[in-house]
Amino acid sequence: MVDLDPEPDSRVEVGGQARPTSGRDHGNLSRLRSSSLEIKEKEIREKGSEILREQLDAAKKELKLKDRECERLAQVRNQLEQELEELTASLFEEAHKMVNEANVKQAGAEKQLKEAQGKIDVLQAEVTALKTLVLTSTPSSPNRQLHPQLQSPGTRGAHKHVGGHIRNKSASGAFPPSSGKPEPSSVSIPHATKEDREMDSILYAEFLTWKEKSSLDRSSAFLSRIYREDIGPCLSFTRSELSQLVQSAVENNLLTIEPVAMSALPMVKASAVECGGPKKCALSGMSRLCRHRIKLGDKGSYYYISPSSRARITAVCNFFTYIRYIQQGLVRHDAEQMFWEVMRLRREMTVAKLGFYPTDQG
């Protein structure tokens, strides 16, 4: 047999001479080689382990950073969720509050609407009644509710408010009823008929001119004449200053007349001399039994007036009430009927100025 792998010839140089090695030397060399390989492998493994540990530490650090970032993001998310919940609750609360306020306002508006509709219904009823009174009154057949001076004595004595002037029915005009016995201090004048009256063309022309553009401006010829001939003399009393105040209140629809109980004490905010008393007229200054008192606008003072002074004031009030009806278009009569009613009211002022006035019978 042939040894295909003959043992190499190993030689060791000793002293510059190559000497062949023996088999034992060869084994030692192999062991040295294997041990060096083991050492290298061990070094490689240790170095690899060290690298892996470094990478692991770096991964752990990076993981910790990621955990901290996740915690921070979780806190931000929780904070945002809390703020969102608070905002949602606040919005719902505000919306609920706005709905409640809207409901309250709607209820208030509905209540005001009902009250306004009620007031409108009342005003419409008053206007209808007022038109009925005006339209049913003619100079030849006056409405006794519109002209209380034509009522019988037994039906008078209640308060009435006409055209803004509050006065008592018992003496709102200058004439007593045509039937019944007149009192010694009163006068009875027969009611004029169409046969015994004649129209003054000048007065009628002035009235027609005024009616075209009716106003309460006294610069017109119609009202200027009436102020000069009727209103001025009728409201001219001894106390001129108070007379002017009374006329101004009548013109501005601010005069109030009310009856007073004889046992009532005078409500005085001015001096007793200015306001008069139950037995002294504040306008004439004469000692008379005063069953009525007047108030001028919103002033707190009351002025006691005698029956004659009251008749003169109410006569002027009746005149202003009627021409205001004409101005507002509430009177549907023809011009001639309106003219004769104005003349009748002028006659009332003239008779009252002369001192004639009706007396209470009841």
- Residue-wise pLDDT tens digits, 80-119: 999 999 999 999 999 999 999 999 999 999 989 988 988 8
Which parts of the chain fold into alpha helices (H)?
23-135, 201-212, 221-226, 232-234, 240-251, 272-275, 307-327, 335-353
Residues 206, 350, single domain; the answer is: yes
Q: Is residue 193 a part of any domain in this protein? A: no
Question: How high is the pLDDT of residue 130?
Answer: 76
Task: Give the span between the Cα atoms of 290 and 259, in whole angstroms.
Answer: 9
Question: How high is the pLDDT of residue 143?
Answer: 55
Domain that holds residue 322: 201-261+307-354
Residues 129, 230, single domain; the answer is: no
Residues 78, 217, single domain; the answer is: no
Residues 207, 347, single domain; the answer is: yes
Residues 127, 212, single domain; the answer is: no
pTM score over 0.85: no
Packing angle of the helix pair 307-327, 335-353 (nearest 10 deg):
160
Q: Does the CA dihedral 224-230-236-242 come out positive or negative?
A: negative
Residue at which a domain ends, from 134, 149, 172: 134
Q: Is residue 217 a part of any domain in this protein? A: yes
Q: Is residue 22 a part of any domain in this protein? A: no
Q: What are the Cα distances from residue 195, in Å, to 8, 100, 104, 198, 245? A: 182, 75, 69, 8, 41
Question: How high is the pLDDT of residue 148?
Answer: 53
Q: Is residue 294 a part of any domain in this protein? A: no
Residue at which a domain ends, from 134, 163, 186: 134
Question: How high is the pLDDT of residue 17?
Answer: 53
Nearest to 275 by CA among 288, 265, 266, 263: 266
Residue numbers of the chain with a pLDDT score lower than 70? 1-23, 132-195, 262-274, 276, 360-362
Question: How high is the pLDDT of residue 186?
Answer: 40
Domain total of the chain: 2
Q: Is residue 302 a part of any domain in this protein? A: no
Q: Is residue 87 a part of any domain in this protein? A: yes
Question: How high is the pLDDT of residue 265?
Answer: 47
Structural contact between residues 287 and 264, judged by C-beta atoms closer than 8 angstroms: no
Residues 107, 244, single domain; the answer is: no
Task: Give the span between the Cα atoms of 82 and 304, in whole angstroms.
Answer: 79
Structural contact between residues 256 and 305, judged by C-beta atoms closer than 8 angstroms: no
Q: Tokens 């505000």 belong to which residue?
A: 94
Question: How high is the pLDDT of residue 84?
Answer: 93
DSSP-based three-state secondary structure for 238: coil
Instruction: Phi first, then psi: give them for residue 166, nearest 5 degrees.
Output: -90, 125
Task: Give the span between the Cα atoms of 315 and 144, in whole angstroms.
Answer: 15
Q: Is residue 249 a part of any domain in this protein? A: yes
The number of CA neighbours under 13 Å toward the Cβ of 35 is 6
Task: Give the span between the Cα atoms of 253 and 317, in whole angstroms.
Answer: 8
Residue at which a domain ends, from 83, 105, 134: 134
Q: Is residue 1 a part of any domain in this protein? A: no
